[in-house]
């Protein structure tokens, strides 16, 4: 699969990176090579092969959630620049 310069430019825009014309050409070539290699892997017959999700044998360790009273709460709230109804007020992220 060969990527065009325009496709690489769009990917760079989505990644918020600026590329020179030389970099665009080089990345079009290298990204195309990677995608060609992935196409080769797609041809491998995996019939009967079980999916491998984890190979180390490690398992998640869970614990019960327990409510613990914070003894520093009042001291921490006093240090905050703005508190309302005993909660920290932060600037909005979205308009």
24, 30, 35, 38 alpha-carbon torsion, rounded to 10° = -160
Predicted pLDDT at 55: 86
Q: Which CATH class is domain 5-42?
A: mainly alpha
Contacts of 12 (CB under 8 A, 6+ apart): 18, 19, 24, 27
pLDDT per residue as tens digits for the range 7-62: 999 999 999 999 999 999 999 999 999 999 999 988 899 999 988 888 888 888 89
- Two tokens, residue 85: 């109804």
Alpha helices per DSSP H over the chain: 5-14, 21-42, 73-79
Parse the chain into domains and list their residue ranges.
5-42
Q: Per-residue pLDDT for 95 more than 80?
A: no
Q: What does pTM read for this prediction?
A: 0.48
């Amino acid at each position: 699969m060969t990527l065009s310069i325009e496709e690489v430019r769009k990917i760079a825009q989505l990644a918020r990176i600026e590329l020179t014309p030389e970099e665009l050409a080089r990345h079009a070539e290298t990204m195309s090579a990677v995608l060609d290699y992935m196409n080769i892997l797609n041809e491998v017959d995996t019939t009967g092969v079980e999916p491998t999700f984890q190979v180390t044998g490690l398992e998640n360790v869970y614990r019960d959630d327990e409510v613990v009273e914070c003894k520093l709460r009042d001291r921490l709230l006093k240090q905050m620049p703005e508190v309302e109804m005993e909660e920290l007020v932060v600037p909005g992220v979205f308009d």
